[in-house]
Structures are given as structure tokens and as C-alpha cells.
Structure 1
Amino acid sequence: MEDDDPSLAKMGEKMIEKSVKYWGAPEKMNKVLFIASILDPRNKLEYVGGAFEDMFGDEKGSEIKDEVVTYMKSMFEEYVAKFSNASRRTSSLSDSSGQTSDSSSSNTSTKSAKVRNRIQMKRNKQDGTGLGGKSELEKYLSEELEPNDDENDDKDNFDILSWWKAHSPRYKILSEMARDVLAIPISSVASECAFSTGGRILDSFRSSLTPKLVQAVICLQDWRRNEPSPVNVEENFNDLMKLELDMVDSSKDSLVLDL
């Protein structure tokens, strides 16, 4: 039996280290990821709760699920408040327009607008966080899961955004929340890698570049980024080497002058 490749073992260690960094401690996990899964009508809380218990055990999984539910309810309450404030602003604008249109009926329109505003706020409270009935979030979580007919297919044809668009009349506030959460692009790439250009400049073929030459290459990339012909490092290798030698010579001259 051949010995294991040490490079593969090292790669596996790095993968485990990254996994522990982002998924090892449940307290550090981004709860929005789990909320996005809950907002999938094929999953809801049943799938997420089962995944937690499978990953961390029954007791710890139940605790994490409760934390996610609490976080989701808090987020939903913010959308309820935002929706209520928007309704009040709309009513205020309609009041001002009605008052300027007819001065004789201003008192009547103001009273009717206040009544409509009070009714709308009451409906929002009932739909959002009402005490007498279930909120939109509670209704959504208590309903049956959507059938997952594509489990055995290679391609998932379920359009979750179309589902929320079709059910937005039933979930006016929750659909707004789902639209915002599901629009977040999810990536497994670490943020420092996604926004850093250093890793795309210093590869295995350019690991011996001096810091000054690396800075020159990055600046050149930024200057030429909007031009139709991209910079080709292989074709301009001789020019870059000459530039590096010139920079080294200038550094030596400046060092001699300083001495």
C-alpha cells in the first residue's frame, strides 16, 4: 500500500481548520443562513431543527434551534414595525392631500383618515404580533411543508421566489422579509479571500516577487483594468524583470547615499 500524499493530508488539515473556524462553534454561526433555510417552504423549522440535532446532538441542537427561532421572531418584529410606520406615513400623506383639495370637508376627511389609520394599525398588529391570533410567522411555521417532488431529480426546479410572490397576499410582511433574506448571496469563500487581490497576484509562480514589484503589478492591474486589452504577465515578463532590477539598483543607490 502506497503512502498517503502529504500534500493531500495538509490540504485536509486546512479544510478541517476552516470548517472549525466557521462551523465549529454554534455561537459564531450566522443565523441568517438558517433563517434562509426556514423561509424555504419545503424545509421550515422541521428540517433546520433536525439538522441541528444531527450535528450537535438532541440537547445542544434544541438550544440552537430555540436561539434561531428567537432571532427570527426579533427580525420579524422589526419588519412589522417598519410596515406599520410605512402605513402611517401613507395615511398622513393622504390626509394632507385631502385637506388641500377641499377646505370645507377637511375635518371630515381627517376623522375618516384617522379611523382608517386605526383600523390599518389594528390589522397590522393582528397579522404581525397580535395577541389574539397567530402572526404571519406563526401561521407560516404551523402549516404543512410544501412537497419536495424533485428529491430524486438532478435539477431542482422549485422556484422559491415565485412561491413567495404567489403567497405574498397571505404573508404581506413575511414576504418582504423573505425577499430581503433570500436576496443575500451565499458564498463559502471567506470574506478576506473574496475581497483581497493579494491572493490573485501572489500565486505559486510569483511567490519570489519582491514587495515593491508586487505593488507595481497591483498598481498596473488597477490602471489597466478598464482597458480592452488585459495585462499579460507572461508576455511582459522581461519588462517586469527590468523594472525590478531598476528598482533594486535605485534602492542600493539610495542606501549608499544614506550611509
Structure 2
Amino acid sequence: MTMTMDNAAANDSAAKKLMDKFTARKSAKFISKYFHVRCCAHIVNLIVNDGMEPLQPLIGNLRETVKYLKKSPSRMSNFLSDCKSLNIKVGKGLCLDVATRWSSTYRMIDACTLYKEAFHEYAQSDPNYEWQPDDEDFVLYGRIQPILKSFAEVTTILSGSTYPTTNIFYPYIMNVKIAIVEHAMSGDDNLKMMGEAMLDKFDKYWDSTVVPENKNRKDKKRVKNNVMVIATILDPRFKMKLVDYCFKKMYGKEKGSSEMEDIKTEFFDLYATYEMENRQHEAPNTNEQSSISSRQASTSMTTLSSGFQSFLEETNSGPCKSELTSYLEDKTHPINDPNFTLLDWWRLNAHRYPIVAKMAKKFLTIPATSVSSESTFSTGGRVLDDYRSSLLPSMVEALVCASSFIKGSKENHIRPTTIVEDDIDDDVEFIPFPESIVESN
């Protein structure tokens, strides 16, 4: 059992109390170090917010600009006229972000970047407009846009709810770490400052989590929740090879090798726990079947010599390859297979690796983020608002369920590889341009 939550202090306290209660029950199936999974999307949000500090003037100006144009149709019309005079191709509209959701801020900046010249032109004709973004801010955004785009892709893909997400954490987060390191080593002061701020937050949550060993003592120990690593190993396309590659890229060769040895030890110990549990479960049935077989074969086995029995014992004394070793040594599934579905693969191969399949069944169900549950709660807020607050509970339920059914019928249940245009964050307010002007343009 696990719980995926963000880093709010109340969540940490709740997770600690629940963990203590479950540990006190002394259930062999409960492993406390895997219980509390921190929401990856929330950590990405913290990392990017630290890195986007140099862009705050641009973000503030764009936010006020979009609000200013949104409030008046005549202002919007004049703005679009300026776009037309400058031969700027008008898109669907502008975006207004939510300050607490960095991905919505990224989409707002990305949408407004197309109209930076139009903002300058509009400022010449409207004396009340005082939030024109600086060209230098747009230049800085152009430099860091690639890394922000990679963060947006990670957030979108890890926030899915129709496919496993823990197993794809490392393939995506490794590219992000490499990009952050490159920015931290940049000669540009702004890029270097942004990269170093992001790297500090990244290492705080994903390099190691330091907690006190004893509340009354000052010494500390490193405790890691390796749920994401174990889930990656349980993906037949990656196994140990991707983890080894990622660790050496992220931590360096020496530390990466040390981390890899720790993971191997932990993974094999976990497998031994599952194997022992499986033996205990099968022992009663095995003893009953063996007693029946021995009675049936007692009369026919008397003719075998004791010499043959000794020969069997000698030849069977060699070490047997475990199921886990077989899984790890078998050839990995092609990584570029477009038709690969992880859950289908385990359904078809569970008979080959029954114990490892039980591990996969538990670890691959863990969500990497809490976005899907938070989005569900947000749905209620969009149905019931200040202007529609008298609906019956049954009607609210019908609206929420109908929306979920319609969305679910169109969703692809295979992990997406890129962000599509329709993948707009629920927290982004989309401000469309008048259709007549868009069509004429």
C-alpha cells in the first residue's frame, strides 16, 4: 500500500501517523519505506518556480496584459487590428495562467510570444496600457524555453491516469537533469543562476531525502523511497540497464555505480520476501500432493538402486537460476515498439515469472503524481460555481460522470509521446479571439 501526495506539511504528518499505525500491525505485506510517494508533478512545480525567478517581470507583464485585453472587446479588436497590420498570423487566442501552476504560466508565455511585436504596436496607441513586456525578457525566455518545454512534457506524461506512470519516471526525468546541469554550467549569468536554483531543488527531492534518525539526536541518515526505480526495473523494455545508465548520467560514474549496487541489493531482498511469501502460501497444497504421489509411486520405486539416488543428489547440487535472475538476463523488449502495452505484456508473461509478476502488479499500480485525483476534485468546482450553485446532487453527479465518460471514450490508453495541442491544462483560462477576425486572417 502506498499514498501519493504533494509536499504539504499536513500531508507529511498524516502519512507519518498512518505509517506508524500500519507498522504497529506488523503485517508482512506492508513495507513502510514504500508507503509515502511524493507527487512528481508537485516537485517539478517547485523546481521550475525556483528557476523561473528571473522571468517574473515578463510573467507579471503578460498576465496583466492578457487581463487588460480580456476586459474589453474593443481593446481586443484594436489589438487584432495591430496584428493584421504587422502581418502576424492570428492563432486561436491567448491564455491566462494560474499563478500556482507553473505549466499554465509556461503555456501563457508560449501563446503570447507570437504577439510580442503586436504588444509594442498596441502600446503606441493606448496610453492606458502600461504592461508592455521588454524585448530582453522575451530573449531570455527564448533561451530557457527548451528546458521549460521538457518540464511540461514530463508533467503531462507523468500525470496520465489510463496507463502506468511510475515506470516512465526515469526515462523522462533523466533528460531533465541533464538539461539542468547544462544550464548550470552555462556562461550566461541568468541561465547559470536558473540552472543552479533548479539543481538544488532537484537534488533535494530526487538525489536523497535526509531525515533525522532520532528526534533527540542530531545525526541523520539517508532514506530513499525507490518505488520509481523498482517500477522501472519491472518494465521489460528497461530492466536494470536503464537504471544503471540513468544513475551514471545523473550522479557520475563512481556514485552511480554505488547507487546501482544498493538498488540491486534492495531489489533482490524484496524479491526474496515475495518468494518466501509465495512458498508459505503454496506449502500446504504441495505437502498434500506430494504425500499422495509418494504413496502411488512407492511400489514402483523399490527397484531403483541406491547408487542412482546418489547420482541424482550429485547432479542436482548445482545452483539453480532464480526466476528474478532469468527475468533480468532475458533479452529486453524493443524500446521502439509502438504497439507495446506494459500491462498486456505482464498479463501474457505472468506464467513465466509468476513471483516477479506479483511484484509488478503492486508497484506498477502506484501513480507518479496526484494530478488525476486533484483534477477530479477540481471538476466539482467547475460544475458548481457562484453562478450555478442550486443544482441537485444527483444532477451534479450526472454531469461529472457524463463528462468523464465522454473524455474517457476519446482518450488513448497507450502512453503519449508528445504533448498535443488539445492537451490544455485545466487551470489555464483560454481567451479566444473573435472567430470572424481569425477566419479573415
Question: Which of 153, 160, 171 is the matching residue for 2:353?
Answer: 171
- Is the CA contact 1:55–1:61 (under 8 Å) kept in the aligned structure 2? yes
Partners in 2 of 1:84 and 1:44 — Cα distance? 25
Alignment of 1:46-195 (within 5 A): 46-91=241-286, 109=292, 112=295, 132-150=319-337, 157-187=339-369
Q: Which string of whole-angstrom CA distances, capped at 9 and with x for unpartnered residues, describes residues 16-69 of structure 1?
A: 665333213274442121111111111111111000000000000011111111
Partners in 1 of 2:293 and 2:237 — Cα distance? 46
Change (3 A) 1:229 1:163: closer
Report the equivalent of 1:227.
393
Partners in 2 of 1:22 and 1:29 — Cα distance? 10
Between 29-38 and 156-165, report the one with greater CA deviation. 156-165
Partners in 2 of 1:57 and 1:65 — Cα distance? 12
Q: Which string of whole-angstrom CA distances, capped at 9 and with x for unpartnered residues, describes residues 200-220 of structure 1?
A: 99xxxxxxxxxxxxxxxxxxx
Give the superposition deviation at 1:80: 0.6
Amino acid at match of 2:240: L
| Structure 2: runs of 5 or more not aligned | 1-53, 61-99, 103-193, 210-221, 299-316, 382-389, 397-441
Report the equivalent of 1:243.
none
Partners in 1 of 2:231 and 2:335 — Cα distance? 17
Give the superposition deviation at 1:228: 3.5
1:24 correspondence with 2:207? yes
Count of residue correspondences: 173
Change (3 A) 1:67 1:8: farther
Partners in 2 of 1:182 and 1:227 — Cα distance? 35
Partners in 2 of 1:92 and 1:16 — Cα distance? 57
Please give the root-mean-square deviation of Cα atoms over the aligned residues, in Å.
4.4
1:41 correspondence with 2:236? yes
Between 170-179 and 4-13, report the one with greater CA deviation. 4-13
- Is the CA contact 1:31–1:71 (under 8 Å) kept in the aligned structure 2? no
| Structure 1: runs of 5 or more not aligned | 96-107, 116-129, 151-155, 202-223, 231-259
Give the superposition deviation at 1:157: 3.4
Greater RCO between the two (CA within 8 Å, min separation 6)? 2
Amino acid at match of 1:228: S
Q: Secondary structure at the match of 2:393?
A: coil
TM-score (norm 2): 0.32
Partners in 2 of 1:133 and 1:31 — Cα distance? 28
Q: Matched residues, percent identical?
A: 30
Partners in 2 of 1:179 and 1:25 — Cα distance? 26
Change (3 A) 1:111 1:43: same
Change (3 A) 1:133 1:110: closer
Q: Secondary structure at the match of 2:369?
A: coil
Partners in 1 of 2:244 and 2:352 — Cα distance? 25
Partners in 1 of 2:274 and 2:356 — Cα distance? 8
Partners in 2 of 1:157 and 1:110 — Cα distance? 45
1:5 correspondence with 2:171? no
Give the superposition deviation at 1:188: 6.7
TM-score (norm 1): 0.52
Change (3 A) 1:165 1:4: closer
- Is the CA contact 1:35–1:72 (under 8 Å) kept in the aligned structure 2? yes
Report the equivalent of 2:114.
none
Change (3 A) 1:8 1:169: same
Give the superposition deviation at 1:85: 0.7
Between 47-56 and 85-94, report the one with greater CA deviation. 85-94
Change (3 A) 1:14 1:160: same
- Is the CA contact 1:52–1:64 (under 8 Å) kept in the aligned structure 2? yes
Partners in 1 of 2:251 and 2:370 — Cα distance? 21
Change (3 A) 1:67 1:81: same
Change (3 A) 1:227 1:109: same
Runs of 4+ in 1 over 3 A off after TM superposition: 6-18, 26-29, 91-95, 108-113
